[in-house]
Every structure is written in structure tokens, then in C-alpha cells.
Chains A and B, each alone.
Chain A
Amino acid sequence: MGEAKKKDGVEIVGFACSFCTFKASEMAGSLRMKYPEGVKLVQVPCSSRVDPAFVIKAIFEGADGVFVAGCHPGDCHFIKGNYYTRRKIAALKEMFDAFSMKEKLRLFWVSAAEARRFVEKVTDMHNELKERKNEREKA
């Protein structure tokens, strides 16, 4: 992978809960739905496994955006893991905001059945980041 190629693509690292979002992404694949190649998933047992340090690391190493996706509130397989995630990511967002890069971090809920929602969410994030990247390059 050359540096040139890396620049024009938007790289998104996603943390996907095994019980819902990862399942939804499997389903999206089986249904041959299309989403950008820049989206790559890290499978985690629960969204609460995501240490904010991972998110920061991904940004430091050149990711254009990071998302954390888990089960809908109340549906967590581990009872309330996603509530912890919600708080952690909210705090992290404040920090991202201080560096005016709030758009680089997203948190959303996708259940195992919502393949379409998964594709919509990641494509939407990809498009927004791409737009911003293009704007910056122009400037």
C-alpha cells in the first residue's frame, strides 16, 4: 500500500460488538450490500471492551474516523455494558471536541437484524469524513 493511495481514501476503524453489530455486518455481507472499503472492523466481545485508548491510538496512527457500535440500550448481552460505553464515549467526545475533531468519533447502536442500518451508518460517516477531507485539502 503506497502512501499515495492512502491519502485519497478515508480510513475508518470500527469497533463492533460480537453479539449485534458484528452480526449485522455479517448479514450485510451475505445480502451483498455495499459500503466503502475504508471501513474495517475490530471484533470485540462487547462494546464496553473498547478502551478510549484504542480510539485515540487509531486517530494517532492516521485513521480518519473511528466508530464504536454496540447493542441498543437495554439489549446488551452483558446486561449493561453498553451503558458504560455510552458514558465513556460521551466523555471522549468532549475531549475530541476540544481538539475540534468531534466528527471523527461516532457511537451508534445496531442490532443483529439491522444490516441496512449498519450500512447506512458507516456510509454516512464515510461520506461526511470524505467531504471534510476534501474541503481541508482545498483550503
Chain B
Amino acid sequence: MKTGIFICHCGHNIKHTIDVKKVSEYFKKFPSVTVSEDYPFVCSEPGQDMIRDSIEKQGLDRVIIASCTPSLHGEMFKDLLKKSGLNPFLLRRVSIREHCSWVGDDVEANTEKAKRLILAGLYSAAHYVPLEEKLVDVTKSALIIGGGVSGLSAAAFLSKMGMQVYLVEKEAELGGHVRTLKNIWPARKEGKSIVDEMVNELSGRKNVEIFTSTTISAFEGFFGNYQVTLNTPEGEKKLTAGGVIASIGFSPFDPGIKPELNYGKDERIITTLDFEKNGDAIKLPGKPRIAILHCVGSRDEQIGKPYCSRVCCINALRVAEAVKDKYKDSYVESFYMDVRAHPRGGEEYFEDTQEKGVLFTRANVAEISPTPAGIVIRGEDTLFSETFEREFDLVVLSIGMSPPIDNKLIASLLKITLDKDKFFLEAHIKLRPFDTAVKGIFIAGSCSGPKDVEESINHGRASAVKLFGFLNLGYAYVDPFISYVDPKRCSGCRMCEQACVAKAIKYDETKRVVHVEEAACMGCGLCNATCPSSAIGLKGYIDCMIDDEISAFLEAI
């Protein structure tokens, strides 16, 4: 066996806590190791060329790359092996960055750990066999959950590209929260007109099916062929979707859970959304005094919402501007922590609002108490370190975004994960911001974290492009990590048949052994762990690989 070990420095990321030279020297003395090199950036072009050269010149039959975590650059290194004429499943990635150099500070201990992690890779890779990727047919259709702006923009793109689109919306009307907004900054357009434009685009297309007032009752299957059961007003409907975009949006923060704000107890305490809906109908005196509170339901550790909701500062500025434009002699005071008017043009808008005479006070508001004469706000001015008490005619709470109410339901249906704030978690925050950990399921819009309208539309479109790239070929390769049966060892006890969740194991009455239906196997390995005669193995994770990995960790080989 000729194994090549390539250890990445990752600039200083790995090198600073692992003695890479020592590790590469250590592996040179192994008889099965032909090449053991360390290199500053294995993922760079010269680094890849080095691996390719070694494979071609030295005739390597196993490649071990000790670098970042396997999910990063995984496909790239697989392609490299393919180009070099080696089966991509003879590659072993060892994570010595995320699992070693970044989690410990002691150089000596980390070097030992890295050695053993690579050793485990080496022993395990010795059992690798060339595998062929499984080709599966992909249904060219997409299910979009949620008909807000992000879902609509995703649907518009996918349908334009000729893909069958199923758009599912819980409410009776499409458009989500944007439909209710009257003046969307910076376009200064009515939300309804933005939504209607998108809905009109969709309604003329034959390949779009829109289900309103519909929920999803069941979701099964795998990438390329998800079986979805919808609960429509006309009854149950089953369909097959190749991929899914979850764009279920957000729910507005309910200030009722903060009792000191007294929201809902007096009609003079409203939220930015209430102001948006019927701001014109509010009766105010000729010279009104208006208070606006920033960061209600955002950046608040106490109620478990430490994140910035990104849109509420602009919403607060819009309220301030609207009041100032209508009542020239009004007194508008904005209580803020700090103003994060970050979309393009936001800072200028903030300055313009200040010039219009809106007063900005950096403050912690302790209490809002309604009295018959006016609403009294008590708090602390954090720039002057003084307490204050002022009376207003109207208080507007600039509420943030909370995770959607259906987040848990959709997450458990689609088997995707929620992050610590209970929004959907992306596969990688920078490299794969549209994907989830599940292949073929994407997220779009504010269900993956607070976003404004522009960002949501972009996010929806980007997810649609990614999904289109997955589905357009009509076929896809999936990992060949499925189970196989050694009929000579199988005793026909049928324990695996009972255990298999996917019902992929079938018993042959004449031969008295079981066999695996490859198309149905999900590759969980439960049968492998269940079989008392070790007759079933999960390709890529067979018993001897894991056994040897354990031995290498504990140096018992």
C-alpha cells in the first residue's frame, strides 16, 4: 500500500499550535507511507499540484489530507483525486484544525493529538475500497414553503427557468408581512404593489401551482425525490419535489412579554407595525409629543434575544419622519442604544431625520406608564448618567424580528436544525449561507435570521439559483455509503430487517439470507450495528475501520 500524507499549515492556523514538521517526519517511518509532506496551503493551486504530482509519480493508492474539517473543500479534493486518476473514495480527510489546533493551546499535546488523529486516518484508510457514486434520478420540481417576498422571488426565478414550482402558503393571501407595509424604505413603495408585481409574474405561468391556506402534514424521502403531503382546503394532496426552499419568514416580536412596557393596555402605546397599518387614523393634538423606542425585542439578553434585528432602526426613523412631515411643530424623541441604520443609504437617512428635528437620546427605558394626561416614560440617559421622566402623547415601540412561530414544526418535518436564536441554521455561515445540512433543502429570507425586504428578495433568488443548479441536470450523484450483505455470513436471523427504518432490507425465503435494496438504503448503519454475525457492513464505515480508528486513538495497535 502506498499512502500519501499531506499536512496543511493553513497559514498559521494549524502551524501555530501543532509542530507540523515533527508530525510529517513521524509518518515518514511507516512502511505503508510513501509520501509525508507538510505544506502551507494544501488547498491552494500549488498545493493541489503537489498532491497530483505525487499521485501520478509515486503511484499513491491512498491519500490522507490532514487539514480543515472534511465538510470544507471536500468536493474540491475529491475532484482532485478524480483528475489524478484515483477513485475519490480513497481519500481520507483528517480534521486537525477544527478538532485539534483551534481547540487546544498546548503545542506538545496538540502535536500528539494530531499524530493520533492522522494515525487513525491512516489505519482506517487502509480498509478503503474504491466506490462508485450512486446515480439517482432527480425530479425537476421545487417545493417552496412560505409565500412571502423571498419565497415569491425564488418561485419567480425557478419558474422562469422552466422548473415545476409548488408554492405553499399558510395564510389565505401571498405576500407575508410585506403586503401590510405602506411605505418601504428606500424605494418608498407600497408593500402591496411589490407583492402584486411578483404574484402577477407568477400567475401567468403554467408551471407554478400555488396552494394558499395550506399546511404540510408529512414530508419524507431523500434528495431528488421528496414525498410531500399537503393539507389543502380541498383535501389532502400528495406531490413529489426534487428540492425544497423554506422561506417561512419571521414573526414580529410581541412586546406583551415585557410587562414594564404596558403594551396592549393603552391605545397610545403602539408598535411600528401598528403605526404602519393605521398610523393615519391615530388622533393627535396639534403639537404632539411622540416617543420612539428602539431595540424592543432585540439585543436583549434577558428575554433571550441577543441579536440585532437589523430592520427596526430604519422602521423607527420612518415613523419619526412620518410624524415630522405631518406635524411640523411636533416634539419627536427617539430613545436608542445605538442606531444601526446599516442598509445602503441608511446613515444618510439617519442624518436627514436628525436635521428634520427629531431628538435622539441614548437611554435605557425602565418603564412606560399610561396616565390619563399622557404616557410617562421613566429611564436613564446613559450619556449624561441622569434619570429622566417625560410625558408623551404617543409611544411607538420599534419591535424586532422573532423566529417564525412554525420554526420547530418545519425544522422537525424537514430534519433541519435551528440555531441558538431559533432561526434556521445555515450549513456554513460564510461558505454556504443558503444551504442547510440536508442536501436539497435551502433556506431563504428572514427565517434564517433578520433581514430587510431587499436582502430577503436577494436571499430567495440566491437559494433558487443554488437549488436550480442541483436539480437542472435531472440526475445527481449521492454518496455510495450504503449497506451490503455478505451472504456467506448471514444466518438469516432477520434482526436487521426489523431494525431497518427505511425498509431497505429484504429477506429471501429460498436462500434464507437477506439482501439490501440499494435505492432505498439511507446509509445510517443501524443494520451494521445490529447484525450479530457481522454479515452486514456499511460501506465507508465498516467495523474494522472504526475498530482501527479506536485503536489508533489509544495506540493499541
**Given known contacts A63-B554, A75-B415, is B425 in contact with A112 (CB within 8 Å)?**
yes
Partner pick for B550 among A37, A58, A77, A111, CB 8 A cutoff:
A58
Nearest residue, chain B, Cβ from A122: B103
Report the bound CA distance from A100 to B500 in whole Å.
Answer: 33
Contact A113 B112 (CB under 8 A): no
Query: Of A37, A49, A80, which one neighbours B525 at CB under 8 angstroms?
Result: A49
Q: A101 within 8 Å of B by Cβ?
A: no
On chain B, the residues within 8 Å of A62 by CB distance are 554, 556
CB B543 to nearest CB in A, in angstroms, measures: 7
Known: A29-B69, A40-B117. A20 touches B103 (CB 8 A): no
In this assembly, does A34 line the interface, its C-beta being within 8 Å of a C-beta of chain B? Answer: yes
Q: Is the CB of B106 within 8 A of A37?
A: yes
Give the distance in Å from the alpha carbon of A109 to the alpha carbon of B232 in the complex. 35
Chain B residue numbers with a CB within 8 Å of A113 are: 417-420, 425
Q: What are the residues of chain B within 8 A of A74 when measuring CB–CB?
A: 412
**Would you give the shortest CB distance from B504 to chain A, in whole angstroms?**
11
- A-facing residues in B91-120 (Cβ within 8 Å): 95, 97-100, 102-106, 109-110, 112-113, 115-117, 120
A44 is contacted by which of B420, B541, B553, B555 (Cβ under 8 Å)? Answer: B541
CA distance A50 to B541 in the complex (A): 10
In the assembled complex, the Cα of A23 lies from the Cα of B499 at a distance in Å of 26
Interface size class on chain B is 35 or more
- Contact flag A58-B554 (CB < 8 Å), given A75-B417, A79-B501, A81-B501: yes
Q: Are A61 and B529 in contact (CB under 8 A)?
A: no
Q: Which residues 463-486 in B have Cβ within 8 Å of A in the complex?
A: 481
- Within B10-57, the residues touching A (CB, 8 Å) are none
Q: In the bound complex, what is the Cα–Cα distance between A74 and B414 (angstroms)?
A: 11
Name the distance in Å between B541's Cβ and chain A's nearest Cβ: 6
> Closest CB-CB distance, B306 to chain A, in whole Å?
13
A77 to B419, CA, bound (A): 17
Residues of the A chain whose Cβ atoms lie less than 8 Å from the Cβ of B120: 40, 42
CB of B437 within 8 A of CB of A19, answer: yes
Which residues of A come within 8 Å of B, CB atoms? 1, 5-6, 9, 11, 13, 19-20, 23, 25-26, 28-30, 32-37, 40-46, 48-54, 57-58, 61-63, 74-81, 84, 88, 111-114
Residues on B lying within 8 angstroms of A by beta carbon are: 69-71, 95, 97-100, 102-106, 109-110, 112-113, 115-117, 120, 411-412, 415, 417-420, 425, 437-438, 481, 499, 501-502, 522-526, 528-530, 538, 541, 543, 546-547, 549-551, 553-556
Return the 3 tightest CB-CB contacts between A and B, nearest first: A29-B98, A49-B525, A78-B524
